[in-house]
Amino acid sequence: MKTIRKLREERGWSQFRLAIEAGVTPGTVGNWERAKSEPKASQLRRLAGVFGVPMDAIAIEPPPRTLQVVMHPAPVSPPTMVNVHTVPAPETPPHMVWVRHVEKEEE
């Protein structure tokens, strides 16, 4: 199996050229190649036709999953800043969330 980027580069095509051939925007092609999104089934069929390979010969890298944890200190007045931490989900067991508490800086 080969990735969309590999198949595109083997043909010497730019992302723009593949976008035209596949009927999508260049940004969509870039998102597929950076695993920011996956092609829909209809787009995957079109890609297979464009590249002349079976659909199952195209390796799709699923987008990375992230988990955002929003932490609030105990309610106080006036409201304090909310700390947001992004934790890569694959490194985190599904039943645990790793959070580092950050104290509010004194002004």
Provide the residue ranges of all domains of the chain, joining segments of one domain with +: 2-59, 64-107
Q: Is the pTM of this model over 0.85?
A: no
Distance CA 10, CA 7 (A): 5
- The 3-state DSSP class for residue 58 equals strand
> 69: which strand partners?
85
26-72 pLDDT per residue, tens:
999 999 998 888 899 999 999 999 999 999 899 887 666 655 555 55
Rg (CA), the chain: 21
Section 6-32 average pLDDT: 95
Per-residue model confidence (pLDDT) at position 65: 60
**Of 55 and 99, the one with more pLDDT:** 55
Evaluate if residue 98 carries a pLDDT over 50. no
Evaluate if residue 73 carries a pLDDT over 80. no
CATH superfamily of 2-59: lambda repressor-like DNA-binding domains (1.10.260.40)
